[in-house]
Structure 1
Amino acid sequence: MSKEIEERPAAENPEELLHLKLEPQKKWAAGIPAVSAAMVDILKEAGFVRGMEGLFKMNKKDGFDCSGCAWPDPDDDRSPIAEYCENGAKALAEEATTKKLTAEFFAQNSVTDLAKLNDYEIGKKGRIAQPVYLPKGATHYQPISWDDAFKKIGDKLNSLKSPNEAAFYTSGRTSNEASFTYQLFVREYGTNNLPDCSNMCHESTGVALADSIGIGKGTVTLNDFYDTDVIIIIGQNPGTNHPRMLTALQKAKERGSKIIAVNPLHEAGLMGFKNPQTVKGLLGINTHLADLYLQVKINGDMALLKAIEKLLYKAELENPGKVFDHEFIKNNTEGYVAFLDHLNQYDLNQLASEADVPLAQIEQAADILKDKSKIIICWAMGVTQHKNGVATVKEIVNLAILKGSIGKPGAGLCPVRGHSNVQGNRTMMIFDKPYPRQMDKLKEVYGFEPPREHGYDVVESIQAMHEGKLKVFFAMGGNFLSATPDTTYTAEALRKLVMSVHVSTKLNRSHLVHGEEALILPTLSRSDKDMINGEAQFISCENSMGVIQMSKGMLEPISKDMMSENQIVCRLAKATLGSRSVVNWDKYEKSYDAIRDDIARVIPGFEDYNQRVRIPAGFYLPNAPRMGKFESEKHGSRVVFNIADLPKHEQADGEYRMTTIRSHDQFNTTIYGLDDRYRGIHNERRVIFMNETDVQKAGFKSGEQVDLYNNYGGVERVARLFVVIPYSIPAGCTATYYPEANVLIPIDSVAEQSNTPTSKLVFIKIKKH
């Protein structure tokens, strides 16, 4: 290995162990420990006064939207104590911290030295306080003025042979206003290379639902949870990833709803909930959540759904008209008979075996569902990040339409989005494959001809960097390197760029694996006060259920040298496009109301945007399936039953299915701490959860150090130095945290149709370290 390669900044977390401490797995989530953990982070990072000031305004109608998950706020009364969860408080602590990175910090710390730290240590350094620039061949970032930064980026973009040699990434934190101006700039510049975080998470959902029901979004509201009979939660862990959902589940249980949980791991947040905002919760009294827990093996969901459908069909034959909603099927669907013919090809025992769930338990699920129609089905990455992710989402739709469980109170489809405005980004046309009608509208309103050819998504962008087709990469938020698959491959791709630019609040590993030149542009966070010409501005976001609401920061920024995302976009547009632009960027830079007025002209559903967004709790976007109306481009007014075969997996002897998961102390790639309290893991992240019988069979023991191997496509990928943890997970299955295990996710292992990386299933071998 050459000296040059050895001195490259590390693309992954250091291969070193900390001091692992194990405790028994929890069977409930939240409670007093959640309050304590949240307060520790807030007090440590922001201090009492600043921290409490932020907490009391987070998710309030006159406050700011949490930068964490996209779970909706109540339409009516909100908690006077705390309208946030433990991880929401930790997200606030991250952005409200008083620690800041100045020119002195970057002068004292080289890029290579910073890359030797783990992701937790990198993130805890503090807020980036001023723009910094890494010249070609330099070892340290150095301060740069905003004007010079924009000039460098604009000159580089204008020097490219084609606009398609640049890509513009968006994270789910970006507001509606900034997302709209961002895509507008990118399209006036001349490309649709708009990869975004949705490409890596719910893209399979968007593709499947748009094709099936005519809109790539869910169909329920939060109030539907309080008027439902059954909630199915499949491939989702709300206790860690969407903790405020637990309150909705608790209310549903109190009103008589049954909950069916489907997950390969037994997760505390699906089993029980101690609500710290109630007297019972404070006293440690637990609300039991899941009435039935189906511990499916990794990617056994399709087989499980078909088995349930087959049992329901059997019950329908025994009691005609009592199980399936034939009126709904007749009036709204196509392909019912063909679907049943397909279903009849399967043997129940075979399906139960493929799901790795006892048939008796599947029969229990069917018994719960057979006489109910007010059913909500929730899902997340455990469904979408598979080769058959789109087909599995469509199978969920099949189940819903058999029961007529769409378009009525207390029923519907509920994909639970991960990042707070990832759904809003797509609504604002952050999309590499825009619809012709959207580009027609841009041309009508602004007068320029937007590009029509499809651009690069995330996976295609990485491949294009590798091939030299992409020269400049601009990221609006996020930690692209750590969020994406095949870490070594992606790092090599990023190093081939001539320039990489990141708009960020805090330091992350993507700033340390860079192009020939690199810039970091510090931006305001959600909780920061955004003042323009002496007037406080507000932004808006869209939650998982299609509600648009205002978000107004109120904490004093810790640096005067930060800029809002929207201002960054407008300044960049002026520096790049200059006099050839037909857009009034000065107007947008000075007034977010002006942006919203034009969003109302371009995007359906945003009429009177400025008036309606100022209504406390905001407004709902139109959602035809929620009202029982369907209109897809492919199938018109009919929802077509999807016919899909079971996924075929060849699992060789000595191979294991591996899924990547979050710890409780992280949100996406942001590591809040080194504990996974609910799973009993403390002070360590390099662990692999294994079935206890598999551990014994392989000759391992608890605490053994191992290396993980993947040989997909004949390319060996290795993740070294993990600790074996026996755990409740189906035989042949394992789980690891990301981003530590992302190196094992092949760049070309993607979901059919959506091109989403298969982060929830790769096959690995395990060897002693």
Structure 2
Amino acid sequence: MNDREDSGDPRNRYEELRQNPDTPYYDQATGGWGSLRGIASVLADQKPSAGAMRTLMRQNKPGGHMCTSCAWTKPAEPHLFEFCENGAKATIWDLTLGRCTPDFFAEHTVAELRGWSDHDLEETGRLTHPMRYDHASDRYVETTWDEAFEGIGAGLKALDPKGTVFYMSGKGSLETAYLYALFGRLYGHNNLPDSSNMCHETTSVGLKKVTGSPVGTCILSDFDHCDLILFFGQNTGSNSPRFLHTLQECKERGCKIITFNPIRERGLVEFANPQSPVQMTTGPTTTISDLYLQVRPGGDVAAIAGVIKRVLELEAMQGGVLDRAFIDENTKGFDELATRLGEVSWEEIERESGLRRAELEVVADLYARSEKVIGIYGMGLTQHVHGWLNIGMLVNLLLLRGNIGREGAGISPVRGHSNVQGQRTVGISEKPELVPLDKLKDLYGFEPPRETGRTTVEVAEGVLDGSVKGFVSLGGNFARAIPDNRRIEAAWQRLELNVQIATKLNRSHLFPGKASWLLPCLVRAEEDLQATGPQAVSMEDSLSMIHGSLGKRKPASPHLRSEVAIVAGIAKATVPPNPKVRWDDWVGDYGLIRDAIEATYPDKFSDFNRRLFTPGGFYKGNAARDRTWKTESGKAEFTAPKVLSSLGQAPEGEELTLVTLRSNDQFNTTIYGFRDRLRGLDGPRDVLLVNPEEMARRGLSEGQRVTVECAVADGTERKVAGLKVVPYDLPDACVAAYYPEANPLIPVGYHDELSKTPAYKGVPVRIRTDGATP
């Protein structure tokens, strides 16, 4: 499989390019009965309340509740079942009958709980009461909301705001995010990182640099018109399965799909629609990718360079391939790009990409014949030291034929968490230049801080060096999700204040500071009843559509509060009263928060309340889609690559490149179970995937326990011991392991150059067979 022959037409070989049968793989289509069995397994494990299925039937539909899982868009005309396997798992996980009560904490010390797995911690069920950490007993003990707000407020007032961080996961609503960001700035800082700092911040920075927009340019209807889709580094089958319906429709009308990914993910190979009786019984499945190229990790720059090089050759030979009018009117830097790629040899391209020239020429020829092209990507492009260049190169390719800013074409990053894009839209940002601070000053009568805040990486570094004294986490599992997490764990306990707002117990709650609080909140599917009645919230999907969400389920505990109420409660106890800042009114009526969002961002949220439940959402707009380029030059900018790999450190000698993965039974750090069905893997997650040829070269055997060491030479030893070698279909010179278990191998300082997104997809490592834990 990995040693491909050059003979014959490469297009004939692609039909034979299948998963290596000598390694584990899933031999069925994505979706289908396997997806239903995956949902059933979580149902049996969590035993949710009887109304869980009714909740799923409302999920992602106008007037219903929006899934807390992926950020893929919601159609105006939903399917009968508008939820996917992963979305169903997330909702069932939220609506479990399990309860993590004060009695549980009375029975277990925090030190004991640190020995539990991620799965077992969340398996304890929903948090039911506000809790305070007691150092004397090493336990969380029950407290009251008033005591919690008073204690947290006192703690925050005692700290320098510049040394305090307000972190937000991608689950929280636009209403919560707006208040949280306002609270942070009223308190006195811009230390407002969110989970995009760990995944798509490279998009926010890199895409903005070359198109002027920090988000993608496509909307759902573009997929009705595209001729070709180029897929890079995104595992749709596990991470955003509802997207497969769109891709299936594209294929059925003749669109071609080409995938570049180091791993052959089944979701981009074959799909059986669970809502199609024919496909669920006797009908043929849908082949998703026409070509599937297993690019080397970090090799996307070279692969795209090869495609562009061939397109430029076709232009020179026959003319009419490039959209010269678009390039002349809308872009800058084309000549520099063409000159640079003229200097790059095909030998370099093949070496860095791990692909053959003939393969890349097939892609280029198809691109040159396609009228409307969409480029899609995920964290396989963003989580590299030169991740920004990956994005710049994909934009380069699209610009050559005017494939940005018109129907059926564009660039479309696929975000992970449900509202991670929207939080940035309404002010959760450490970058003050992205926030209308003058507008906030006028609306609320205060002087917002202008200093740049801390990114996720800088927060982690600040916890290590002691410059971060206080940490408030609105959702998420920050201490587990960050790179270098094992090295940083002990440093958390030096914090003066650690506040965790959460729905379930996770590892971040087990490293309390000198004062620590664990505050339970509602999930999105639960009814949020405030002074004026049930409240709706909103979120933005990855195609820039705004959706309303209304929960109906009875809350897991009468002691839970909404995220909005918790943020407002802490803020009232912390910042001085301000007649223009209406915490109590906002908690009582979320429509007033939406009015405030509209006043702050009138170009994006006009008539916000009226349009809240627009079927399919309402579009917030995108200047780049309108070919208004808000870049430094006022044009879309070509990027001439100085390097051909997005890796910060290429493997040398015995080194390999580590790629971290999420399983089919996982969402971020939440582990639903121990089956990675779509990769044919089952059992414990302490595995190291290596291709058979690489195993033979290194004298490794299947099932052997090894130690993996980080090869970044920064003076710090990083290793994970006891990983079991599993043969798997991967490119040469790379290995794969699960996130977050492999995070101790990722140096906190090893990140994208521009955005500081950790390089989870490309770290040099060494394998040691001595000293491995059996």
Q: TM-score range by the shorter chain?
A: over 0.9
Shift of 1:652: 2.3
Q: Deviations over 1:181-223 (max 9, x none)?
A: 0000110011111121111111111111111111100000112
Query: Could you say what secondary structure the match of 1:473 adopts?
Result: strand
Provide the rounded CA distance (Å) in 1 between the counterparts of 2:308 and 2:143. Answer: 61
Selected match of 1:355 from 339, 353, 356: 353
The alpha-carbon distance between structure 1 residues 415 and 538, as it changes in their structure 2 partners (threshold 3 A), is same
Map 1:16-35 → 2, pairs under 5 A: 24-26=25-27, 28-35=29-36
Shift of 1:475: 0.2
1:251 aligns with 2:244: no
Counterpart for residue 241 of structure 1: 239
Shift of 1:336: 1.2
Counterpart for residue 482 of structure 1: 480
Residue type of the partner of 1:98? L
1:660–1:760 CA contact under 8 A, matched in 2: yes
Stretches of structure 1 lacking an aligned partner (at least 5 in a row): 1-21
Selected match of 1:574 from 566, 572, 575: 572
Query: Could you say what secondary structure the match of 2:675 adopts?
Result: coil
Counterpart for residue 37 of structure 2: 36
The percent of aligned pairs where both chains have the same amino acid is: 39
Query: Could you say what secondary structure the match of 2:90 adopts?
Result: helix
1:235–1:379 CA contact under 8 A, matched in 2: yes
Counterpart for residue 690 of structure 1: 690
Provide the rounded CA distance (Å) in 1 between the counterparts of 2:450 and 2:48. Answer: 50
Shift of 1:578: 3.9
Would you say how many aligned residue pairs link Structure 1 and Structure 2? 743
Query: Could you say what secondary structure the match of 1:327 adopts?
Result: helix
Residue type of the partner of 2:751? V
1:448–1:582 CA contact under 8 A, matched in 2: no
Counterpart for residue 515 of structure 1: 513
Provide the rounded CA distance (Å) in 1 between the counterparts of 2:376 and 2:417. Answer: 16
Shift of 1:631: 2.2
Q: Deviations over 1:14-49 (max 9, x none)?
A: xxxxxxxx9543363111111122133235424473
Map 1:470-549 → 2, pairs under 5 A: 470-533=468-531, 535-549=533-547
Stretches of structure 2 lacking an aligned partner (at least 5 in a row): 1-22
Shift of 1:627: 2.3
Residue type of the partner of 2:720? A
Provide the rounded CA distance (Å) in 2 between the counterparts of 1:703 and 1:437. Answer: 52
Query: Could you say what secondary structure the match of 2:63 adopts?
Result: coil
Query: Could you say what secondary structure the match of 2:231 adopts?
Result: strand
Deviates more, 1:590-599 or 1:33-42: 33-42
Map 1:69-468 → 2, pairs under 5 A: 69-74=70-75, 76-80=76-80, 82-160=81-159, 162-283=160-281, 285-321=284-320, 323-435=321-433, 438-468=436-466
1:26–1:679 CA contact under 8 A, matched in 2: no
1:436–1:452 CA contact under 8 A, matched in 2: no
1:27–1:267 CA contact under 8 A, matched in 2: no
Q: Deviations over 1:657-693 (max 9, x none)?
A: 1010101100011101111011111121111110111
Provide the rounded CA distance (Å) in 1 between the counterparts of 2:385 and 2:500. Answer: 30
Shift of 1:546: 0.4
Counterpart for residue 61 of structure 2: 60
2:74–2:617 CA contact under 8 A, matched in 1: no
1:707–1:766 CA contact under 8 A, matched in 2: yes
Shift of 1:126: 0.2
Shift of 1:608: 1.4
Provide the rounded CA distance (Å) in 1 between the counterparts of 2:116 and 2:45. Answer: 20
Counterpart for residue 720 of structure 1: 721
Provide the rounded CA distance (Å) in 1 between the counterparts of 2:607 and 2:678. Answer: 45
Shift of 1:349: 2.5
Deviates more, 1:493-502 or 1:575-584: 575-584
Provide the rounded CA distance (Å) in 1 between the counterparts of 2:261 and 2:710. Answer: 24
Counterpart for residue 13 of structure 2: none
Provide the rounded CA distance (Å) in 1 between the counterparts of 2:751 and 2:25. Answer: 35
2:427–2:435 CA contact under 8 A, matched in 1: no
Provide the rounded CA distance (Å) in 2 between the counterparts of 1:117 and 1:159. Answer: 34
2:48–2:92 CA contact under 8 A, matched in 1: no
Q: Deviations over 1:65-113 (max 9, x none)?
A: 1000000011x31112x10100110000110111111111110111111
Counterpart for residue 622 of structure 1: 621
TM-score using structure 2 length: 0.94
The alpha-carbon distance between structure 1 residues 405 and 185, as it changes in their structure 2 partners (threshold 3 A), is same
Q: Deviations over 1:479-529 (max 9, x none)?
A: 001110001222133122112111101110000122122111101111011
CA RMSD of aligned residues (A): 1.5
Counterpart for residue 16 of structure 2: none
Query: Could you say what secondary structure the match of 2:703 adopts?
Result: coil
Deviates more, 1:491-500 or 1:337-346: 491-500
Query: Could you say what secondary structure the match of 1:579 adopts?
Result: coil
1:294–1:357 CA contact under 8 A, matched in 2: yes
Provide the rounded CA distance (Å) in 2 between the counterparts of 1:662 and 1:280. Answer: 31
1:236–1:381 CA contact under 8 A, matched in 2: yes
2:460–2:488 CA contact under 8 A, matched in 1: yes
Shift of 1:579: 2.9
Provide the rounded CA distance (Å) in 2 between the counterparts of 1:581 and 1:102. Answer: 38
Shift of 1:258: 0.4
Query: Could you say what secondary structure the match of 1:459 adopts?
Result: helix
Counterpart for residue 598 of structure 2: 600
Provide the rounded CA distance (Å) in 1 between the counterparts of 2:512 and 2:285. Answer: 48
Q: Deviations over 1:392-424 (max 9, x none)?
A: 101111011012101111100000000000000
Counterpart for residue 666 of structure 1: 666
Residue type of the partner of 1:384? T
TM-score using structure 1 length: 0.95
Residue type of the partner of 2:141? Q
Shift of 1:137: 4.4
Provide the rounded CA distance (Å) in 1 between the counterparts of 2:434 and 2:691. Answer: 50
Provide the rounded CA distance (Å) in 2 between the counterparts of 1:581 and 1:183. Answer: 18
Residue type of the partner of 1:663? S
1:274–1:286 CA contact under 8 A, matched in 2: yes
Residue type of the partner of 1:704? Q
Shift of 1:391: 1.2
1:175–1:425 CA contact under 8 A, matched in 2: yes
Residue type of the partner of 2:546? I
Query: Could you say what secondary structure the match of 1:155 adopts?
Result: helix
Provide the rounded CA distance (Å) in 1 between the counterparts of 2:578 and 2:63. Answer: 40
Counterpart for residue 654 of structure 2: 654
Shift of 1:643: 4.0
Counterpart for residue 707 of structure 1: 707
1:463–1:493 CA contact under 8 A, matched in 2: no
Counterpart for residue 8 of structure 2: none
1:333–1:641 CA contact under 8 A, matched in 2: no
Shift of 1:699: 1.1
Shift of 1:650: 3.9
Provide the rounded CA distance (Å) in 2 between the counterparts of 1:625 and 1:662. Answer: 32
Shift of 1:641: 4.1
Shift of 1:332: 0.2
Provide the rounded CA distance (Å) in 1 between the counterparts of 2:271 and 2:154. Answer: 55
2:460–2:482 CA contact under 8 A, matched in 1: no
The alpha-carbon distance between structure 1 residues 297 and 377, as it changes in their structure 2 partners (threshold 3 A), is same
Provide the rounded CA distance (Å) in 1 between the counterparts of 2:472 and 2:595. Answer: 27
2:332–2:635 CA contact under 8 A, matched in 1: no
Residue type of the partner of 1:358? R
Query: Could you say what secondary structure the match of 1:353 adopts?
Result: helix
Query: Could you say what secondary structure the match of 1:56 adopts?
Result: helix
Provide the rounded CA distance (Å) in 1 between the counterparts of 2:624 and 2:453. Answer: 29
